[in-house]
Amino acid sequence: MEPRGNKLISLYKDNYRIPATAEVTEEMILNHWELEKNLTKELLDSTQENRWEVFEKAYTTLYSSLDWLNSFSVDSTPPVSKYETWLGILGSPPKKIYEVGSGKGEMIAYFAKCGFECKATEITKERGSKHVTNSSNNLSWGNSDGVHLDQFEPADFYDFVVSNQVVEHFHPHDLITHFRSVYKILNQQGSFIFTTPHCHTGPHDLSLVFGYDQPQCMHLKEYTYHELQASLKQAGFKRIYSAVPAKLKKLLSKLGLGNEKQIRTIGIFYFHLMLIVENILFIIPSKKQRRGLSKFLRKIYLFADNIFLIAEK
């Protein structure tokens, strides 16, 4: 049975990081639920020919209709802490960074303030530069379909392409195209860094609030490590590995394991561990049991449900 009343409101606020004091009603949430389900059907039914038009219209409708998703949803974690792992991978400026699906622009604006030459992009103007204050001169903005990046940007140009919780929003048929396009706009030493939720502990979209086992809303597909590895290899990427969290890097540094080559080796080891654990989890037939074990393994660092990958050309 789908939750209602105060329970529904509490689940919704937790899922979207909305403060407890914010005025959110059951009616607002139910309107959101119906809107996302309808928009999701339109997104999945879209064709290659009308994909960008359908997606741009859908996300513009979502964020213009539900203005509280922009105004209420907050994360008080300081950027210096939130993006520490990312900065450890990016290294020192100057480097050119392109972000896919910048949302309200917090991450890419922070990278720009750190001295990197950055370009932020969004599919709809309801998200993006309008939400950024005190923007850096190192930051420019653009709109694109998020998939065919090479139609908007020069080839072999960027040092890094980044995306934070984005690929799960693409039409599943577009994943390979997206990865190939990322590959094209990266220079020969370039890397693709991205995060996305793991399907074993999902769904991670609005469906979770209503107690569903599979995404019903605008996470069109939540992936596994195996699926992403296969798609990245098909797109041409040569080396794929997990990001090593900043806190673990500091600990490893104290143990004399802090240079770039050693960190990459540890990331490769951890990525292969995730592939093994994932295979074990697939033996469990019940999604509910698989989700429960995944969450337990996450607590003891034997599983990462936030997939955080680096793919090198």
Question: Domain limits of the chain?
Answer: 5-71, 79-246+305-312
Class of domain 79-246+305-312: alpha beta
pLDDT at position 131, please?
53
Residue 132 pLDDT level (bands cut at 50, 70, 90): low
How far is Cα 149 from Cα 216, in angstroms, rounded to an integer? 27
pTM score, two decimals? 0.93
Angle between helix 260-281 and 246-254 (nearest 10): 130
Which segments within 181-289 are labelled E, that is strand?
A: 186-197, 239-242
pLDDT at position 69, please?
81
74: pLDDT strictly greater than 80: no
Q: Do 309 and 242 touch, CB atoms closer than 8 A?
A: yes
Note the Cα 222 to chain centre separation in Å. Answer: 10
How far is Cα 263 from Cα 124, in angstroms, rounded to an integer? 37
How far is Cα 129 from Cα 141, in angstroms, rounded to an integer? 7
Q: What is the dihedral of CA 15, 3, 296, 69, to 10 degrees?
A: -10
127: pLDDT strictly greater than 70: no
Report the SS3 class of residue 162.
strand
Q: H or E element: which one contains 120?
A: strand 117-122
pLDDT at position 247, please?
81
Q: pLDDT by residue (tens digit) across 171-181?
A: 999 999 999 99
pLDDT at position 198, please?
96
Q: Look-up: residue for tokens 């034997």?
A: 302
How far is Cα 199 from Cα 189, in angstroms, rounded to an integer? 31
- Mean pLDDT of the region 148-163: 97
Report the SS3 class of residue 97.
strand
- Average pLDDT taken over every residue of the chain: 92
Beta bridge partners of 191: 160, 312
Q: Is 114 left (phi over 0), alpha (psi -120 to 50) or beta?
A: alpha
Beta bridge partners of 186: 158
pLDDT above 70 covers a percentage of the chain that reads 96
Spatial CA neighbour of 307 closest among 217, 231, 256: 231
> Which has the higher per-residue pLDDT, 241 or 129?
241
Report the range out of 16-30, 59-73, 137-151, 218-232 with the highest average pLDDT: 218-232
Residue 86 in tokens: 């990312």
Residue 283 pLDDT level (bands cut at 50, 70, 90): very high
Residue 250 pLDDT level (bands cut at 50, 70, 90): confident
186: pLDDT strictly greater than 60: yes
pLDDT at position 128, please?
54
